[in-house]
Structure 1
Amino acid sequence: MTISNHLYFAAPMFSQGDLRYNAHVVEEIRALSSEITVYLPQENEAINDKSAYADSKMIALADTEEVLRSDLMIAILDGLTIDAGVASEIGVAYAKGIPVIGLYTDTRQQGAENPKKLEALQTPAENQFHYVNLYTIGLVKLNGQIVSSESELLIAIQNFLQERRD
């Protein structure tokens, strides 16, 4: 018996870099198993062809419907701030009990044990680390986990699939 594993990929999608990175990660996820289907919003041309027109209600309804039918959300947490759409999608997933795996690859998190970096936190405007919104991070952690690399993400997805099989 095959179990349906529908994943929602929440990520910023407004630059060529975003679009390419999203497609790359989703390709790796899809290669994990034929049991996986991934909804990547940028592939939904009905609402995300930026040369066409889709109003806010069309976008909200289409993406929310996909979030609600998903078994797992993958959320890209990188950027100056967590993308507003991604944060909204995380909120919907949390409210519906849909687990979330957040991918946070920000390199400024490296060196967390470096005494100079830690000491610099005491000096105004010398934070060597990146701040992310703790409310949104809390929603992810309450019903999922945060990983810091693509390889960790793939392992976490495989673990999720295995748990669903057991």
Structure 2
Amino acid sequence: MKAYLANGLFSIGDRYVNELLARELRAAIPEIELYVPQENDAINDKNAYADSLAIAAADLASLKESDVLIAVIDGVEIDSGVAAEIGAFSMLNRPIVALFSDVRQQGRTNAKKIDALVADGTENQFIYRNLFVVGLIKQNGVIASTVEEVVEAVLKISK
């Protein structure tokens, strides 16, 4: 099975999440061929140079070869590169497993939070994800809230 891991890769937090996901996926599915863009020094060694066309060509080639896309959709907004990768991959009609771990998903049944939001839209205790991107994920995939759930979902796809 070939898989592509999409996430930001410029902050230490994103790189750690990518390393964690890659390690857990490779441990659970030893036969997985996992493309992690931050591991591709030909385009992501920031001491070197790769232009936009080289980056797009490398990542699109890996997307086209992949059986599944694993996409991290955390952050203030979905990373623009991740959103583009989700859009491109969705055109292949292959499964997408997204990780959305934001803790603001908790307490969705808390009536005080709902009442506060209804009374004053600026009292939003929740988080928004772009619904077009969410819809692309849900067409052929799932949104998980933990690394373990991501690994479990990819395991199911690999069988």
TM interval, short-chain normalised:
over 0.9
Q: Is residue 2:80 matched to residue 1:71?
A: no
- Paired residue for 2:53, among 21, 42, 57? 57
User: Over aligned residues, Cα RMSD in angstroms?
Assistant: 0.8
Q: Is residue 2:158 matched to residue 1:161?
A: yes
Counterpart for residue 143 of structure 1: 140
Offset of 1:84 from its aligned partner? 0.4
> Aligned partners of 2:57, 2:88: CA distance in 1, in Å?
12
Tell me, what secondary structure is at the counterpart of 1:156? Answer: helix
Q: Is residue 2:123 matched to residue 1:126?
A: yes
Tell me, what secondary structure is at the counterpart of 1:121? Answer: helix
Tell me, what secondary structure is at the counterpart of 1:8? Answer: strand
> Aligned partners of 1:120, 1:11: CA distance in 2, in Å?
33
Q: Is residue 2:112 matched to residue 1:116?
A: yes
Counterpart for residue 16 of structure 2: 20
> Aligned partners of 1:92, 1:27: CA distance in 2, in Å?
25
Please give the per-residue CA displacement for 1:126-152, whole angstroms capped at 9, x wherever unaligned.
100000100001000011111111111
> Aligned partners of 2:91, 2:52: CA distance in 1, in Å?
21
Offset of 1:30 from its aligned partner? 0.3
The residue identity in structure 1 corresponding to 2:96 is: V
> Aligned partners of 2:70, 2:149: CA distance in 1, in Å?
12
- Paired residue for 1:98, among 74, 94, 99? 94
Tell me, what secondary structure is at the counterpart of 1:74? Answer: strand
Counterpart for residue 36 of structure 2: 40
Normalised by the length of structure 1, the TM-score is 0.93
The runs of at least 4 aligned residues of structure 1 exceeding 2 Å deviation read none
> Aligned partners of 1:83, 1:127: CA distance in 2, in Å?
21
Normalised by the length of structure 2, the TM-score is 0.97
- Paired residue for 2:103, among 95, 100, 107? 107
> Aligned partners of 1:139, 1:50: CA distance in 2, in Å?
31
Q: Percent identity?
A: 46
Offset of 1:98 from its aligned partner? 2.0
> Aligned partners of 2:29, 2:148: CA distance in 1, in Å?
15
